[in-house]
Amino acid sequence: MPATVVVGTQWGDEGKGKFTDLIAGGMSMVVRYQGGHNAGHTLVVDGESFALQIVPSGVLYPHVTPVIGNGWWLIPGSCWPRWTCLSRAVWPRPTCASAAMLT
């Protein structure tokens, strides 16, 4: 299975999330492999703004499976509000690697 990898080299703020969302329409899965609660980005779709933290880019495409990888530190109480705010969009379900750190 071929893969496209988006990697930043400047410790964030390079536009990785925006670029990933631009190419996600042609993908079946988008994986955020590592990070924490400070990792986020904002997407504007049809004039509506979505501030995403933790949630992978591509989540607004109904055919894309968004995955949170095993390099994440997750606090479930912090994740849930971010996921439920997307339920009115097309968020099918949070998919999380079994090895992600839960605190």
Kindly list the catalytic residues. 13, 41
CB atoms closer than 10 angstroms to residue 88: 8
Distance, in Å, from the CA atom of 70 to the CA atom of 27, rounded to the nearest integer, reads 20
**DSSP per position, 56-103:** PTTTTSTT-EEEEEEEEEE-HHHHHHHHHTTTTTT----EE-TTSEE-
Q: Give the separation between CA 100 and CA 14, rounded to whole angstroms.
A: 25
Helix (H) or strand (E) holding 49: strand 48-53
